[in-house]
Structure 1
Amino acid sequence: MSTAPVSRRSGGRAARHLARSNPLEDHLRPIRPGMSGGLYRPLSDDAIQRIHRGALDALWEIGLADPPESGIAAMTQAGAVLGADGRLRFPPSLVEDALAAANRDVILHGRDPIHDLDLSGNRVHYGTAGAAVHLVDIDSGDYRESTLQDLYDAARIADTLDNIHFLQRPMVARDIEDPREMDLNTLYACISGTKKHVGTSISEADFVQDAIEILHMAAGGEAAWRARPFASLSCCFVVPPMKFATESCQVMEACIRGGMPILLLSAGQAGATAPASIAGAILQAVAECLAGLVYVHSLAPGHPAIFGTWPFVSDLRTGAMSGGSGEQALLTSGCAQMHQFYGLPGGAAAGIADAKLPDMQAGWEQMCSNVMAGLSGLNMVYEAAGMHASLLGFCHESLILGDDIIGQALRCVRGIEVGEDDLSLDVMRATCLGGPGHYLGAGDTLGRMQRDYAYPALADRSSPKEWAEKGRPDLLANAKARKEAILATPARARLDPITAQAIRERFPIHLP
């Protein structure tokens, strides 16, 4: 009786599939939150110094207009100078004092400690952000107004994606007209949709106390909240160029008192509200965020703050925003270098697509800036997935596909290890001198399969023949199926029923 020969290749493939099915512990995974970047440096040391000195000159010679009265009182007491023209100017010594006192050990907490984000050094984290006013329907290609349910669904999806490390509100709940109710429902939808760190916005200072109360209730009390604040304020405290945003500053002051970490967000647009040159746009954003750092320092030295230089790009032919451009990737990378120069936790925008749908254009636009941001060591890569039409539209399926894009970007961030084991000379000897002549099925290959290599969840790597045999799987259709599967199961981040009911009895929550 004869037996069929066993293919050594198929045996190796079976072994690889078996190894792939056994996930590694987090610290052994090939990609994970907080890996260190910083190998890509588009700015020379001299360029960094010139931008820094230019920012100091801008703060002293130009200053910022429209400071709120409370800000004037705090910052002039710290050493700022209010001019006869109403502009607040900042002596270099005051800026240096604020830099010296800044918190460099910021941790953004999740509701679950497994999602805590260490922002020290060049540690890289990717997440969502933005204020899209539309949701993209991939079936029809239409844009419709985004709703609270859409936002909640985005939070639920993000909670399941390994490479989305935090959730900052990516959409506006256009179905809620009252500003206070919109802010409170936005916060509630986010924290009940994910246990990862949440960034949110609050439009008026009078709404802050209600938002803080929701956070206290979700945390189990004020002390628990202050020990582990799992939500931060995304604060557009300036209106570029070089003006304070009065209401946002007042919100920031109230949130600092309430214990919320602050994202100091300067979002000028090169060629429109910021200089057209890449270096000039970076300089203005740095100057504005240094003013914000002085503001925070004058109120609460050492309060956790993220240096949020977010300059955007204009297509100078039309004036339209071009978030998917190579220039945007350079702006973000340059900002990351400035954060590192100051030793501050920083964030900027990447992963934006100008494309209206998740197509080939979207893929190259999202990958370009996400890779460069990660290689630059940007601590917080905002808007990294799901954003289309230059931030006007958000797409659930694109959020899922973005998880794969970010996975490959993170593998680039990790780089190449060149230790003795990594040179693989012993493996080469064993393979070539009396061995099988290939590395398939080798112990070293199997060991590195998960430890060194990152694999997409949805992207197809099969041969054309295998692809056809599988029914020609469609990427968007698979993303939609995964979305539907996620949303068909109960939210794993939902608040406990007693807390959820207490919040609903206290505040007008619109989620069913």
Structure 2
Amino acid sequence: MNAQSPRRSGGRAARRASRAAPLTQDIRPIRAGMQGGHYKPLSDQDVLRIHETALTALEQIGLIDAPQSGIDIMTSAGAILGEDGRLRFPRALVEDMLAKACKDITLCGRDTQYDLQLNGHRVHYGTAGAAVHMVDIDTNDYRDSTLQDLHDAARIAHQLDNIHFLQRPMVARDVTDNKEMDLNSIYACSSGTTKHIGVSFTDPAFVPDALEMLHMIAGGEQAWRDRPFVSNTNCFVVPPMKFATESCEVMEACIRGGMPVLLLSAGMAGATAPSTIAGAIVQATAECLAGMVYVNAIKPGHPAIFGTWPFGLDLRTGAMSVGSGEQALLSAGCAQMHKFYGLPGGAAAGASDSKLPDMQAGWEQMCSNVMAGLSGLNMVYEAAGMHASLLGFCHESLILGDDLIGQAQRCVRGIEVDDATLALEEIRSVCVGGPGHYLGTDATLSRMQKDHVYPTFGDRTSPKEWAEVGKPDLIAKAKARKEEILSTPASARFAPDLDQALRARFNIHLQP
């Protein structure tokens, strides 16, 4: 027995080392783009009624305040401008433009390994938002967010397997010039991650310089147009049923420049959208359908994400309730409408009303992240790091959110039923002349990595073991991981000659 012990011990050590090594893509239990769609809060009849009501709203009510360029574009396609200034959309026009719309979008990363395929029920989780504060976990205070905070968020997100894209999650409040803020946001995000990035522009006049910067980063205009790794998050409407004039002009410029767009309708149920969940979905759907007409009248088939983002409202106080069950239902219901149209879509989930990464944040973030994933939402925005009803962002919460989203993705993956997973022969071998348990069997060991998602920071030890290692705190572990990531050079940083050229052309505020 003793002679055999080293051999068995060595085998165990080898297995432990193997399990600790990064998993190859073919055996990872979760990954970007897994198929959701198992959860459907709306019946087929519900979906049809929402669709018909949205079309009626477009035909009878329409939208106002499009820029003159947009009026010309949409009326040339068949929209009708009324004497009241509202553009109305015949249902035949909407149907024609839906037929032309892009149904299969590739959101490129600067690195091809991070490309995202948006079709069907493929699910991707990432950041988003325009928080104006950072959560300081050492003092439990809020402070203004900065360009360095944005760059650090990009660097952290780059290292997190379950954060699949980075839409700018905060505003760089230390850059007071709007044009410089927009350009520096691109620089800060792109030098922090090679995953796909989403940014906004405050003025259409800023887009040409932004495109010039992106051409430089990509290696030329054609290289950029072949693989646009940044998309424009565009709040093209100001609900209810009004176009956002300058944002529409930004969208037109971005489309001409080959940039994918997120058509974002962000009404607040009870304030700028109907208070009912169904009514808020109707309005968001109608507004985004108008956006699809707009985009495809400019350039048929241009990549545009159907961004129905209705938010919940606490009707007692007027405060946003992004962490509510109603919010989870809003986003899941919107995902069903995206699938009805066969369009790549996105909505908000995973944000919290809690001010800190605490238990309230945990239940709020998990509830909507799971429901959005199960519904097959292609792009789950604001899925990690967002607090205080979108006013605050927290780096440590972003890191913990990676663990949380890992568990949400395991729910999205669902239950596989086949001969191997039904395990009849395994049950037979264990129960008939076997050890009477499944610990250490070949089947258990062979599937422990393929079937199970293990938390990085979540603690599954016993109270005794937890005490023996100093009662580690979840937030402290996330802070240590943050410091570890930020203490090493960013792998996405630009080559020295490119960085020098960018700094010579643009006023870059980040220190080299």
TM-score, normalised with respect to structure 2: 0.98
Please say if 1:54 is aligned against 2:53. yes
Whether contact under 8 Å (1:15, 1:441) holds in the other structure is: no
State the 1:430 CA deviation.
1.4
Note the C-alpha offset of 1:497.
1.1
C-alpha change, 1:14 and 1:316, in structure 2 (3 Å) is: farther
Match in the other structure for 2:471 = 472
- Deviation per CA, 1:223-272: give whole Å up to 9, x if none: 10000000000000000000000000000000000000000000000000
**Which aligned pairs between 1:37-76 and structure 2 lie closer than 5 A?**
37-76=36-75
Task: Tell me how many residue pairs correspond in the alignment.
Answer: 511
- SS of the equivalent of 1:312 reads coil
**CA positional deviation for 1:441:** 1.2
Q: For residues 464-493 of structure 1, give each alpha carbon's deviation from its aligned partner in whole angstroms, at most 9, with x where no partner exists.
A: 111111110100000000000000000001
CA distance in 2, matches of 1:379, 1:494: 28
Instruction: Name 1:131's counterpart in structure 2.
Output: 130
Aligned counterpart, 2:268: 269
| Distance (whole Å) between structure 1 residues aligned to residue 65 and residue 339 of structure 2 | 29
CA distance in 2, matches of 1:179, 1:286: 31
Q: What is the CA-CA distance between 1:3 and the residue it aligns to?
A: 5.8
Specify the code of the residue in structure 1 equivalent to 2:367: C
Give the structure 2 partner of residue 510 of structure 1. 509
Distance 1:12 1:386 in 2: 41
Runs of 4+ in 1 over 2 A off after TM superposition: 2-6, 9-19
**1:259-316 per-position Cα deviation (integer Å, ceiling 9, x unaligned):** 0000000000000000000000000000000000000011001000000000000001
Give distance in 2, aligned partners of 1:21 and 1:360. Answer: 29
Partner Cα separation in structure 2 for residue 376 and residue 359 of structure 1: 26
Q: Please list, as runs of the form range in 1=range in 2, the aligned pairs for 1:16-31 lying within 5 A after superposition.
A: 17-31=16-30
Answer whether contact 1:12 1:440 (CA < 8 A) is retained. no
Structure 1 5/225 Cα, relative in aligned 2: closer, same or farther at 3 Å?
closer
Q: Residues 236-315 of structure 1: matches in 2 within 5 Å?
A: 236-315=235-314
After TM superposition, list the pairs within 5 Å mapping 1:69-148 onto structure 2. 69-148=68-147
Q: 1:18 Cα deviation (Å)?
A: 3.8
Question: Counterparts of 1:432 and 1:13 in 2: how far apart (Å)?
Answer: 25
Matching residue's letter, 2:392: G
Partners of 1:5 and 1:338 lie apart in 2 by 62
Alignment of 1:202-241 (within 5 A): 202-241=201-240
Secondary structure at the residue paired with 1:243?
A: coil
Indicate the residue corresponding to 1:400 in structure 2: 399
Name the SS of the counterpart of 2:127 in structure 1.
coil
CA-CA distance at 1:436 after TM superposition? 1.6
One-letter code aligned to 1:458: F
- Distance in structure 2 (CA, Å) of the matches to 1:449 and 1:12: 16
Tell me whether 1:334 sits opposite 2:333 in the alignment. yes
1:450 counterpart residue number:
449
What SS class does the counterpart of residue 332 from structure 1 fall into? helix
**How far has the Cα of 1:438 moved from its partner?**
1.4
Structure 2 gaps, min length 5: none
State the distance in 2 between where 1:4 and 1:474 align. Answer: 42
Q: CA shift at 1:496, angstroms?
A: 1.0
What's the TM-score, normalizing by structure 1?
Answer: 0.98
Counterpart Cα distance in 1 of 2:185 and 2:435? 60
Match of 2:371 in 1: 372
- The aligned residue for residue 419 of structure 2 is 420
Deviates more, 1:117-126 or 1:437-446: 437-446
**Which structure 1 segments of 5+ residues have no match?**
none
Q: 2:269 & 2:449 partners in 1: Cα distance? A: 42
SS of 1:151's equivalent in the other structure is helix
Cα 1:223–1:364, aligned 2, differ >3 Å: closer, same or farther?
A: same
Secondary structure of the structure 2 residue equivalent to 1:381: strand
Partner secondary structure for residue 262 of structure 2 = strand
SS at match of 1:193: coil
Find the counterpart in structure 2 of residue 190 from structure 1: 189
Note if contact 1:15-1:446 (Cα within 8 Å) is conserved in structure 2. no
Question: Structure 2 CA distance, aligned partners of 1:231 and 1:22?
Answer: 32
Measure, in 2, the Cα distance between the counterparts of 1:16 and 1:323: 43
Secondary structure, counterpart of 1:234 in structure 2:
strand
SS at match of 2:368: helix
Q: 1:167 is matched with which residue?
A: 166
Conserved 8 A contact 1:151-1:170: yes
Identity of aligned residues (%): 72
Deviation at 1:27, TM superposition (A): 2.7
| Residues 1:239 and 1:365: Cα distance change in structure 2 (over 3 Å) | same
Separation in 1 of the partners of 2:184 and 2:266?
A: 25
Deviations 1:143-179 (A, max 9, x none): 0000000000000000000000000000000001100
Letter in 2 for 1:318: T
Query: In the alignment, which residue of structure 2 is the partner of 1:356?
Result: 355
- Partners in 2 of 1:489 and 1:28 — Cα distance? 29
Distance (Å, rounded) in 2 between the aligned partners of 1:443 and 1:19 = 15
